[in-house]
Structure 1
Amino acid sequence: MKLKCSVYRGGTSRGLMFNEADLPKDKQLWANIFKGAIDCVNQNAVDGLGGSISSTNKVCVIKQTNNKNYDIEWEFYQVGVMKDSVDSKGTCGNLIAAVAAYAINEKLFSFDSRASNVCVRIFNTNIKKIIEVRTKLKNGEFAEIGDEIMQGVNGTCSLANVFIKDAGGEQTKEKYPLGKISDFNGIRATLLDLINPFLYVNGLDFDLDFSKNYDEFSKDLSLEKLNNLRDFYTIKLGFAEDESKLNENQAIPKIAAIFKSDNKEEFDIGIRVLSLRNLHKSSPASGLYNLAVAALEVGTLANELSELKMIENGIQDVRIKHFLGVVSVSVEIKNGKIIGVGLKRSARRIMDGFIYIKEI
């Protein structure tokens, strides 16, 4: 099967971009197309365009729309890593900028191509939220080149402002479906459902050392204990019916170990994330959104560790350190309540063309 396809980097993720109009009308065929395009059952994805980590095994389907409240619709799919799976329960915060770039470059909505800036309003069907991406234009296309820095991406780039309003309860209908602190076998945790459900535990409860580099950290035997805890909460939240269904539900919730800052001048809180059971080299953007909000709200594990105090009104930045550096997440606050969360992300078009899908 031959299909039009583009490959984009968004933030610290890479994904395949499809225009819904180019895909079969029968959506039941999509899963096999996406698995074949990624080559998800092969560790090195040599027969497709994926990779060996969750950040590279992503698919976005973008749809033109005439809705007056937003410009395009976007559906996200997480394809497995060495697993025959496709999951659309969650979404990807990193690829939001790439979706905006694709929509601009493909002229999927009406805008003034002579302008220097544009706002793309994206309705993400996975979480049923409108996301605004404000970005620069260069010759009528998404501006990739600039003099700004994004942690996890080499060189300089142009950063777009991604902002999500009124996020929370996208998958479970509640922001804190288990309360701000839950306890299982003596392990205290905060489960926050904002864009994607994230489970946060204190890394010290698992004897994890935040100072270790990625290679050293990835060898820690306690990571399997984190995966087992994630599995327990997956079933508890109803994302998997029982243990036999866990392989079909790897995308959400994700689990992260968080750490108290040892340098308050540099960062407010540290994070190490497991995604699709593997150690993430930075953090999914949704993990950063979740953690920034939890770090400001009294009663959460993240707030205990960060020791941050929320301002009454305005924008408050939360600085989160992952393996590749420190990221500032902007939290919008009104009358002591969080009403929005934002992050600066870059995107780059890697290729346009056709992909040839091998039957699987």
Structure 2
Amino acid sequence: MKVPIVLMRGGTSKAVFLKKEHLPSDPTQWSAFLLDLMGSPDQRQIDGLGGGNSLTSKVAIIHSSELPHIDIEYTFAQVSIVDQTVDFKGNCGNISSAVASYAIHTGLIPPVEPITRTTILNTNTNKLITAEVEVHNGQVVTEGTIEIPGVPGTGSPIYLTFQAGEGAVTNKLYPTGKPIDTITIRHQQIDISIIDYANPLVYVKAEDLGLKGTELPHEISPETLQLCEEIRGLAAEMCGFCKAHEAKFKSPAVPKLTIISPAQDYVDATGRHHKATSMDLQIRMLSMQQPHNALAITGAICTSAAIFLNETILQPFATCKNDVIRLAHPGGIMQTKLVVANHKIQGIKVIRTARVLLSGVAYTKNQFDYATYRQTV
């Protein structure tokens, strides 16, 4: 089957973008369709569009919204590389940064110069995101001076504001009802914090994993990754997603395990040296059971909210004194900005870049039922 697609980079991730009407008419076929399209399960995804990495095995499903004050509805899908699984539970902030550009590129929304402001509903979390994109002569501007750690080169700024992110997946800021939980793992007790803001994350201190906190992805051993997955599995059960031993298959994308440590000097993956004074917190995230090469945007959003809340296991580490939060990760340092009114977070803003990499037609191996598709392709 021929499928119209746009391949886009959004922040430090890459995804296949599809219009909703180009997916099988039966939503129960979506997972099989996306696994086929991306070439999963296969470590290399050699027979599909995936890039053999969790950061490039992503799909964005887009359609115009008929809801008042909302321009675009967007569903995120994390396609597993090693399992026959597609996870629709959470959102991806990096891919969110490309949604408005895609909508303008494909004519779903009209371009407004010099800035097109788009209100996006993420259907995974039922949360709103506002995107501000530069436009010139009716086209999205991609050239600019903004550098994103983890992305070569520079680009035009895209401003994303995540609004009212509490309880994005579990409907609770603290899914267990507590900002700090004590768990027993391998006969040891450790404190964790499970926080659901933009996406659910489970935080654990680096020292409790035998780490310093400045490790790069290749320096985290398979044994440590296995321990992390055991902790994440317990957190998934505490969130009510599934049993702990089922987490890898039934809820592989959320909660995302996140390792925290105090601000400290380190060398990032590009060889740049960063001083402790240039950051507020060291953070290392896992994505689909593997170390993230940078930092997920929803992870940065959730962490920023956690720092503001000042009552989780992050509290002793975070050094932030104002509304700008600096998070050190393997690719460099990411900044977020809190929008606060009456001592409550109204939104959290980040700057990203994005661009179209390819527009064209992809081919699936299998046949799927397309009610409207055959009339439009």
Note whether the superposition's TM-score is higher than 0.5: yes
Please tell me whether the aligned partners of residues 43 and 51 of structure 1 are also in contact (alpha carbons under 8 angstroms).
Answer: no
Alpha-carbon displacement from aligned partner over 1:333-353 (angstroms, at most 9, x marks no partner): 112222211111111101011
Per the alignment, residue 311 of structure 2 pairs with 299
Question: How much does 1:133 deviate?
Answer: 0.2
Structure 2 portions without partners, runs of 5+ = 265-274, 368-377
3-state secondary structure, aligned to 1:221: helix
Per the alignment, residue 84 of structure 1 pairs with 84
Structure 1 segment 208-287 matched on structure 2, within 5 A: 208-217=211-220, 219=221, 221-241=223-243, 243-244=245-246, 246-262=248-264, 263-287=275-299
CA distance in 2, matches of 1:243, 1:214: 24
Matched AA of 1:206: L
Relative to structure 1, the CA distance from residue 158 to residue 176 in structure 2 (aligned partners, 3 Å threshold; closer, same or farther) is: same
Question: How much does 1:308 deviate?
Answer: 3.4
Please tell me whether the aligned partners of residues 233 and 243 of structure 2 are also in contact (alpha carbons under 8 angstroms).
Answer: no
Question: How much does 1:240 deviate?
Answer: 1.1
Question: How much does 1:94 deviate?
Answer: 0.4
3-state secondary structure, aligned to 2:55: helix
Per the alignment, residue 319 of structure 1 pairs with 326
Per the alignment, residue 371 of structure 2 pairs with none
3-state secondary structure, aligned to 1:265: helix
3-state secondary structure, aligned to 2:93: coil
3-state secondary structure, aligned to 1:304: coil
Please tell me whether the aligned partners of residues 53 and 278 of structure 1 are also in contact (alpha carbons under 8 angstroms).
Answer: no
3-state secondary structure, aligned to 1:53: coil
Per the alignment, residue 95 of structure 2 pairs with 95
CA distance in 2, matches of 1:299, 1:321: 21
3-state secondary structure, aligned to 1:205: helix
Alpha-carbon displacement from aligned partner over 1:221-279 (angstroms, at most 9, x marks no partner): 22211110100111121111463464121011010110100244210001111111111
3-state secondary structure, aligned to 2:82: coil
What is the percentage of aligned positions where both structures have the same residue? 29
Alpha-carbon displacement from aligned partner over 1:3-50 (angstroms, at most 9, x marks no partner): 111100000010000011222322222211110111121111111111
Per the alignment, residue 354 of structure 1 pairs with 361
Per the alignment, residue 31 of structure 2 pairs with 31
Please tell me whether the aligned partners of residues 11 and 97 of structure 1 are also in contact (alpha carbons under 8 angstroms).
Answer: yes
Provide the alpha-carbon RMSD of the alignment. Answer: 1.6
- 2:203 aligned residue (185, 191, 200): 200
CA distance in 2, matches of 1:245, 1:300: 24
Per the alignment, residue 270 of structure 2 pairs with none
Alpha-carbon displacement from aligned partner over 1:254-310 (angstroms, at most 9, x marks no partner): 10110100244210001111111111111211111111111222211112211435x
Structure 1 portions without partners, runs of 5+ = none
Per the alignment, residue 124 of structure 1 pairs with 122
Alpha-carbon displacement from aligned partner over 1:293-330 (angstroms, at most 9, x marks no partner): 11222211112211435x5xxxx111000001000011
Alpha-carbon displacement from aligned partner over 1:188-239 (angstroms, at most 9, x marks no partner): 111110111000111011111233333223x262221111010011112111
Structure 1 segment 19-98 matched on structure 2, within 5 A: 19-98=19-98
CA distance in 1, matches of 2:85, 2:232: 18
Please tell me whether the aligned partners of residues 89 and 253 of structure 2 are also in contact (alpha carbons under 8 angstroms).
Answer: yes
Per the alignment, residue 152 of structure 2 pairs with 154
CA distance in 1, matches of 2:43, 2:335: 33
CA distance in 2, matches of 1:234, 1:60: 24
Per the alignment, residue 177 of structure 1 pairs with 175
Alpha-carbon displacement from aligned partner over 1:145-188 (angstroms, at most 9, x marks no partner): 11121111111111100001111111111111221111102211
Please tell me whether the aligned partners of residues 160 and 344 of structure 1 are also in contact (alpha carbons under 8 angstroms).
Answer: yes
3-state secondary structure, aligned to 1:226: helix
CA distance in 2, matches of 1:144, 1:228: 41
TM-score, length-normalised on structure 1? 0.94
Please tell me whether the aligned partners of residues 77 and 86 of structure 1 are also in contact (alpha carbons under 8 angstroms).
Answer: yes
CA distance in 1, matches of 2:337, 2:244: 37
Matched AA of 2:182: D
CA distance in 2, matches of 1:65, 1:89: 20
Per the alignment, residue 336 of structure 1 pairs with 343
CA distance in 2, matches of 1:141, 1:241: 48
Please tell me whether the aligned partners of residues 233 and 247 of structure 2 are also in contact (alpha carbons under 8 angstroms).
Answer: no
Alpha-carbon displacement from aligned partner over 1:44-99 (angstroms, at most 9, x marks no partner): 11111112221111111101223331111111111102111111111111011111
3-state secondary structure, aligned to 2:167: coil
CA distance in 1, matches of 2:158, 2:130: 10
Matched AA of 2:224: S
Would you say how many aligned residue pairs link Structure 1 and Structure 2?
352
CA distance in 2, matches of 1:222, 1:66: 47
Matched AA of 2:22: D
Relative to structure 1, the CA distance from residue 264 to residue 333 in structure 2 (aligned partners, 3 Å threshold; closer, same or farther) is: farther
Please tell me whether the aligned partners of residues 31 and 86 of structure 2 are also in contact (alpha carbons under 8 angstroms).
Answer: yes
